[in-house]
Structure 1
C-alpha cells in the first residue's frame, strides 16, 4: 500500500507515501491544511511536482516522515507551484538535477509559487559532475516566498546557489525573504557564475525586487568575487555573518538597496572582501569588517567608477550613496573610484562617506583613491593611521580597542561612541543557521602511514585511503603505467628513494585526488619520447572537485612537464618549496590548459619558493584568457629561487604576481601580459645576471594595473 491516511478525511490529514505513484495521488487529493509525508529512506531519481493551493492559516505541506531521514538522490529535483505551500526537512545528496533548476518555485512559466516557504532543506554536494554545466540549486520565482533554516554547501559546477528570478518583461516585486540559512563551503569555480546568492538580473535591474537577505551564515563561499550579487532595487541585506569567504556583497545593478548590520570576519584569508557600491541611492551603514584582505573590487569598502551613459548590463555611475558608521579593522584596503579606466570614467557624485571607524594595527592608512573622489563628501571619519593625502573628513586618533560581550571590537574612548558600527550589533550564532538536525562539519580523515619497498608503490597507493602517507624506502621505484590518485595522498621518503617513470604519466590524478610529495626524487629519464610526458597530471575528465599538488624538498630530473593541468579541471593550490629541478624540457608548472574568452583558468594559487632550477626550459606557463572580472586569480608567487639557464616565466592574465628575491642567471626574460581588472604585479629585489629585464604588456585597453618594479639588479656574468 503506497499511501496511508493518518486522519479522517473531513479534517486536515497527514498522507504518508512510500512510492512516487502514491505521492502523485496524494498531491491530487491534498486540501488546505493537509501534510504529505515522504516515507523515510532514499528516493532515487524522483522528480517532484508539488502543486496546490492552501490558505494563509492552512497551508499544504510536503515534508519528511522524520527530519533528515528522507534522501533525494540520483537525478532528482523539485518544482513547486500554487500558493500557501510549505516544503520542509528534505535532503538532496548523492546526485544532481536533471534540469537547470534543482528546486524551482514554479512548475512552468504559468504556474509559479507565491506565499510559499522552503524550510529545513539540505542540498549537500548535489552537484553536476561537469564543472562548466550551469544550474541553479534554488530558483525563487513569484512573490512573498521564504527560504529559511536551510543548508547549502559543496556546489562545484557553474551557476548560482540561490537566485531570486525576475523574468524579462515581468518586473514585479518579489518580496522574497532569505533568512537563517547556512551557506557552506563553495570552492573557487575559476570562472564567472559562482555566486552564492543573486537577486535579479541586469535585464530588469532598474526595477525593484524588494527582497530581504538577513541573518544568514556564509562560510567558505569562495565561488567567485560576488558572494551576494544584487541586480535589482529596493533590497535589504542585513545581519548576515560572512566568515572566511572570498568575495564581497556587490550592489551590481539596481538602485536604492540597503546593506546594514552585517559582520565580515576575514581572519586573514586571501581575497576576503566587504561591500562594493555601484548605481544610485545605495545605503551602506552599521557594518563591521575585521581582517579582510581584499583590495580593488574586493576592498572592505569599494566605491566604483561608472560608465558614462551606461547600458543596463555595464556599470551605472554611483550617485547619492550614503556610507556611514561602518567599522573597518585591520583591512587591506578601502577604495574610492575602483575600476577607473578609459571606459569606467564616471566618478561617484552626490555621495557621502561619514562617521566610519578605520583601524589598523600597523598604523598605516588603507584608503586609496583610484579615480576622482571629489563627488564624495567625507566627514567625521576616524582612523588610526594618518589621514589619506588629498582627502578631507578623516581625523587621526589614538584608538584603543576593547572586545565587547558580542565578540566585536569597539573603541574604549566614549567620545567615539557615535563613530563606527553600533554596539548593539548581534553576531548570529552558527548553530542558529540551517536546520538543527544536519551537521555542518564533516569529520576529518585520519590517515595511516604505509611503508613501501621498491616494486610495490602502485599496489600500495591502490590500497591507500584518504589522508594516508606512503613512506617509500631507498631504491628505485620504477613505474611502467600511470598510478591513479583519487584521494588526498602523501608520498614521502629520502632523496635516495627514486620514483622513476617509464610511463607517459607518473601520477595521474583522478577526481577527488590531491598529491603531496616530500623528500623523494622524481625521474622522467625513462618516460616515452612520443607525446608530452608529465610526472603529475591533472584529471583527464571534467571534474568539479578541485585538487592540490605540493612538492616539498623534492628533486626532479630529466622530465618533460612536471605538473600539467588539463581543461575543465581546477587546481586550488600548487606549491613548490625547497626543491631542485634539472633538465626539464617542458614546464615545471604547465597551467595554460584553458582556452577561449570567458576568463577560465587552470590554477588558483601557484607558489614557487626557495628552489633551484638548472637547464629548465619553462618554470611556469600560466594563462587566464578573456575579459571577465569575476574571479580571484590566478595568484603567482615566486620567491627566493635560483634559476640557471633558460627558466622562462610566462604569465598571461594573472591577477596577482609577486616575484621577489630570486636570482636569474642566463635566463629568459619574465614575460607578463596583463588583462582587465586591477592586476597587481610586484617584481622586486631580484638579481638578473646576463638575463633580460622583465617585459610587461597589456592585452586590453581596459583595466588599471598596479605595477611595481623596484630594487632589482642587472648583472653581467664574468
Structure 2
C-alpha cells in the first residue's frame, strides 16, 4: 500500500511539473520596439514572441534565452511576410534552441556586420537554433564598398533553411559560416532548402554567395551540410560557394545559370555529390573547382556550362609547393567519379600552372565519368603534368587529348531527357556518369511560398508605350510619370532640356516613326543614371550646342559616387554632334563605384567630340575593381574625336572576376584619339580587360589601339581590321615576362 502511494505521489509531481512548464510558457503579442525590449531579456523555454504586422523601422532585434529541443523560444510574424524590417534593422540570436521565422528585411541595410547573426557578441553565441522562412530582399548598404554579411553563422548545430535571399549588391558574402573560435568549429550547421536569387556581378573580389570558413582557419573541420538549395543567377564573382574548411558536405543543390563555380578553395576532405548545374549556354557559367587534399566529387550532373579557366565547367588546380595557408595547396587524393558532363565546354586540369603554382595534382583518380559534347569538341585543356590523375572507365563521345585517352573510351552515346530534366543515356549498357535516379530540387521547393521569385532584371521595352509631344516640359513630365520598362516615343521637334534628367527607372526614349527628334541640353549633362536606372536611346539626334561653355560636359553620366545598383546603357540609330563647345566633352562618363552590366552602342554616328566617347576609368586604386562588365560597339562611325573611343581600366592582381569584356565590330574611326589632352595617346585604351574582340573595324588617321595585359590570362583577339595611316596595335604584358599573348591576324596596315 505504501509503495502504491509513493508511486501516485511521484506521478502527481511529474504531472504538476508538466502543467507548471506549460503554464510558464507564454505568448507575447508585441506591437512596439519598447514592448519587445520589455520582455526580451526574460524569455523562457516555450515562449513565443509574435510581432505585429506592419513596417518596423530601425529595429535591432536580439533573440536570446535558453530554450529546449521540445520547447524552443520562438520569434514569429503575426502573418508571414507582413512584418517588414526596414531602415537599419537586424536580428541576432544568442542562447540555445531559438527559432526566428516569417520576417522580411527590405528597404534598408544592417547597421552592424550582418543582417542576421547567430551570436550576440564574441562570447555569446547561438546553439541548436534555427532561422527559417525569412526574406532578405535588396537590403544593401548604399556604400557598395562597405562590407557586411547578410547571414553569419556562429556557434554549433544551427540551421538556416527555407529562406529567400535576393539582390545582394554591396561587398560581402551573402551567407558566411564563421570558424573564428573553438565554439564555432566542428559546428555541424545545416543550410538547406534556401532560395539564393540573383546576385549581380560585383566587379571585384567580395561577391561570394556562400562561404564556409576563411583561409586562416581552413585546416579546421567545419562539418557543415549544404543541401537542397537553389542558386539562380548568383553572379557576384568567380566563387559562388567558397569552401575554406574541411569535412563539409555539399549535396543535391541546383545551380541555374549561375556565373561562377563551387570552389574548394581551402580545406580538406569535403564531399561534393549529387549537385546539378544548368548553364543553358550562359557565358561564364561554371561547375566545380578542385584544390587541396582528400576531396570527393561524385554523382554530379553538369550541363550547358561555358566557363573557362578558373570558372570552367570542371577545374583541377595546380598548387604552390609548401604553400602558405592562404595560397593554393596541392591537389592530392582527389576522387572524381561518376559525374556527367553534357555540353561542358571546358574541363581544365593543372589549371593556373605558372612559376608559383608548380605543384601538379598527385595520387588522384578520375573514373567512370560520362563526357558528352554535341558539337563534337573535346573539352580537355591540360596546363601541366597530369600523370598524378589516373583515368579509368570514363566514356566520351569525342576523342580526347593523348595525355588522358588511355582512360577515356570513345563511344557514341544517345541521350534522352528524363522527367527531372536531365539528359541520360538511353542504353543501360553505359555504366559511366551520375546515377540515373538523381533527384533535382525545384525552385518552388526552396525559399518561402508567400514571397514571389520575380525576374532579376526589368527588360527594356517591357512596359507601356507613351507618346510625348514636342516640348522639353512634356518630356520631363513623361519621364517622371513613367514606370520601369516603359517606352517614351517622342514626336518630331527640338527638345531643349533645361534640367539635369535623373534616370532612376528602366526607360527607353526613342523617336517616333519617321520623326526627326533633336535633343539639346543646358546643363553639364543631359542624363544622370541613379540606382534603379537603366537607359535606352533610339533614333535620336543629340547636340551639345546649348551646353555650358565649360570643360567636362557629358551627354550621359552616372551619379558621381555612391551607386549600389548595376545599370545598363544602350544607344542605337542615333546621331551625336557638336560635343565640342569646350574641351573634354565626353559622351559618357562614369562615377566612382558605378558598374555597368552593359554599355552597347549600335549604328550611331558621332562627329566633333572634344573628349572621350566612353570614359570608364574611375577605379585607379588597382584593387581589381572596374566600371563596366560588357561593352559593345557595332556598326558605328566616329569622326573628329579628340579623346579615345573608350578608356576601360581594371587594375590590380585580383583573379575573382570575369570582366571586363569588350566587343568592337564593324566600326569606322576617322581622326580619333589625337587630341593633345588625350593622355593615353590611344583611340582605344584597355588596361586589365579580360576578354577583348576587335574585329573588322577601320581606323583612319587615328591614334593606335593600346592594350595592357595584367592578370587572369586575358583573351585578346584583334583580327580583320584596317589601319589606314594609323599605327599598329600596341599590346604589353605588365605582369608576365615574354611576348604578349594577344592574337593579331589578318589586319591590314596602310602607311601614307
Same-fold call, TM > 0.5? yes
Give the secondary-structure state (helix, strand or coil) at the position aligned to 1:415: coil
Of the candidates 610, 615, 618, which is equivalent to residue 644 of structure 2? 618
* Shift of residue 115, structure 1, vs aligned partner: 0.6
Number of residue pairs the alignment of both structures matches: 710
Q: Following TM superposition, by how much is the alpha carbon of 1:458 offset from its aligned partner in structure 2, in angstroms? A: 2.8
Q: Do residues 186 (structure 1) and 186 (structure 2) align? A: no
Structure 1 counterpart of 2:446, from 427, 433, 450: 433
Match of 1:257 in 2: 270
> In the alignment, which residue of structure 1 is the partner of 2:481?
463
Q: Is the 8 A contact 2:222 2:248 kept in 1?
A: yes
Separation of aligned partners in 2, 1:502 and 1:37: 56
Name the structure 2 match of 1:217.
230
1:552 is matched with: 572
- Determine the C-alpha separation between the residues in 2 that align with 1:503 and 1:408: 56
Retained in 2: the 8 A contact 1:676–1:702?
no
**Conserved? CA contact 1:591–1:602, under 8 Å:** yes
Deviates more, 1:115-124 or 1:583-592: 583-592
Aligned pair 1:635/2:661, yes or no?
yes
SS in 1 for 2:429: helix
SS of the aligned residue for 2:246 comes to coil
Looking at structure 1, the residues matched to 723 and 350 of structure 2 have their Cα atoms a distance apart, in angstroms, of 36
Structure 1 runs (4+) greater than 4 angstroms displaced? 168-171, 442-445, 702-706
Judge conservation of contact 1:343–1:702 (CA < 8 Å) in 2.
Answer: no
CA contact (8 A) 1:78 1:104 kept: yes
Q: What is the aligned partner in structure 2 of residue 645 from structure 1?
A: 671
Question: Tell me, which stretches of 5 or more residues in structure 2 are unaligned?
Answer: 1-19, 580-584, 674-682
For residues 454 and 388 of structure 1, the distance between their equivalents in structure 2, rounded to whole angstroms, comes to 66
SS at match of 2:610: strand
Asked if residue 600 in structure 1 is aligned to residue 600 in structure 2, the reply is no
Q: Contact between 1:495 and 1:554, CA under 8 Å: does it hold in 2? A: no
Residue 163 of structure 1 pairs with residue 176 of structure 2 = yes
For 1:88 and 1:676, how far apart are their aligned partners in 2?
44
The aligned residue for residue 406 of structure 1 is 420
Question: Is the contact between residue 640 and residue 661 of structure 1 (CA under 8 Å) also seen in structure 2?
Answer: yes
Contact map agreement 1:168 1:204 (CA 8 A) in 2:
no
Q: Could you say if the C-alpha distance between residues 396 and 557 of structure 1 is closer, same or farther in structure 2, counting changes exceeding 3 Å?
A: farther
Is 1:537 paired with 2:573? no
Equivalent runs, 1:472-483 vs 2, <5 Å: 472-483=490-501
Offset of 1:8 from its aligned partner? 9.6
| Deviation at residue 169 of structure 1 after TM alignment | 6.7
User: Residues 334 and 239 from structure 1, CA distance in 2 versus in 1: closer, same or farther, beyond 3 angstroms?
Assistant: same
Residues 293-302 or 168-177, more deviating: 168-177
Maintained 8 Å contact 2:126/2:156: yes
* Root mean square deviation of aligned Cα: 2.0
Measured in 1, the distance between the counterparts of 2:469 and 2:355 equals 60
2:577/2:606 contact within 8 Å kept: yes
Correspondence 1:505-544 to 2 at 5 A:
505-544=525-564
Structure 1 residues without counterparts, runs of 5 or longer: 1-6
More strand by share: 1
- The Cα shift of 1:706 comes to 5.5
8 Å Cα contact 1:247-1:273 kept in structure 2: yes
Is the CA contact 1:77–1:98 (under 8 Å) kept in the aligned structure 2? yes
| 2: CA distance, partners of 1:52 / 1:32 | 8
Q: In the aligned structure 2, how far is the partner of 1:404 from the partner of 1:533? A: 58
Q: TM-score, normalised by structure 2?
A: 0.91
User: After the TM superposition, which residues 101-250 of structure 1 pair with which residues of structure 2 at under 5 Å, given as runs?
Assistant: 101-167=114-180, 172-250=185-263
> Could you tell me how far apart the structure 2 residues matched to 1:353 and 1:650 are?
44
SS at match of 2:235: coil
Q: Secondary structure at the match of 2:713?
A: coil
Residue in structure 2 matched with residue 448 of structure 1 by the alignment: 465
Distance in 2 of aligned mates of 1:568 and 1:440: 28
With over 3 angstroms needed to count, the CA separation of the structure-2 counterparts of 1:680 and 1:16, relative to structure 1, is same
The CA deviation string for residues 249-282 of structure 1, in whole angstroms up to 9 with x for no partner, is 1111111111111111111211111111111111
State the distance in 2 between where 1:359 and 1:584 align: 52
Deviation at 1:703, TM superposition (A): 12
The residue that corresponds to 1:3 in the other structure is none
CA pair 706-322 structure 1, distance change in 2 beyond 3 A: farther
Partner of 2:4: none
Q: Contact (CA 8 Å) 1:550, 1:576: kept in 2 or not?
A: yes
Distance in 1, Cα, partners of 2:211 & 2:148: 13
Q: CA deviation at 1:690?
A: 2.5
